[in-house]
Amino acid sequence: MANVGLDRIYRNVSWLGIGALGKELWQLRRLRQHFATQQELELLLSEDSVGQAKDICSKIAKDAGIPDENPDFERWVNALQSSHSDAEVIEMYDAMVVQGQDKKASAIVAKCASESAVLVAVSPLAVADMLLVAWRSFKMVNDLSDLYGIKLGYWSRIKLFKLVLMNMALAGGSELAIDVSMDAMSMDLASKVSVRAGQGIGVGLLTARLGIKAMALLRPLPWHSDRKVKLESIRKQIIQRVR
């Protein structure tokens, strides 16, 4: 009887392990599909095709949990005409639907970055601070992925984090130089009041930059130059919170 009970436990554990592995593989596949859809939409933006974009954008909205009665989605659907090219349909979806997601995502990044900055500025426990900041950064990326409709497992989350860090490392030289110089000025200004305040702002800005890069990877479309979320707006909120 004891052996029968152990066999049943082993079978249950095995099935749980297979189920967990299957879920991880499915979530990794979903992340790869997301990047494939990004590339497909980017290609459609550069072509003069008609009739493909509406279905793709509608599926993106469904995956993100955006209901048909959502005001932004309804406005996009009602604005569509048969004469619109795929590029125009995608641009309209970006301006009417994705921009609303971007505003919520930007608020998530600003909140996490500001709270991380304050945490480091007021606490004397440096190691504990950084562990908590790292945990909050993981949570921030998870919240952003949920917002854009991408469910992450353990390995897909690690993969996404690696891509975010790689994108930060490969940021354009001029963009990075401007950000770093502005960051240095912000930290120098804060350090005149407190060394910890300067450190806090530095951590907050790093968290914000990580969040913005995560947004770029998670949103379904490449940034439109006029609608791109910039570090400057979040930087002001961080400095204000630390002060």
pLDDT at residue 175, as a whole number = 47
Which pLDDT value is given to residue 17?
53
Q: Which residues lie closer than 8 Å to 90 by C-beta, 6 or more apart? A: 41, 44, 45, 53, 57, 221
Q: Report the 10 Å Cβ neighbour count for 39.
A: 10
Render pLDDT for 54-75 as a digit per residue (tens, 0 to 9): 999 999 999 888 999 999 999 9
The one-letter amino acid code at 206 reads L
Q: Tell me, what's the pLDDT at 2?
A: 53
SS3 of 54, please? helix
Report the alpha-carbon angle 21-26-219, nearest 5. Answer: 135
What pLDDT score was predicted for residue 85? 95
Q: Which two tokens stand for residue 125?
A: 């426990």
The pLDDT value given to residue 137: 86
pLDDT, residue 18, reads: 54
pLDDT attached to residue 31 = 83
Q: Which pLDDT score is estimated for 106? A: 95
Q: Which portions of the chain are predicted below pLDDT 70?
A: 1-27, 124-129, 168-195
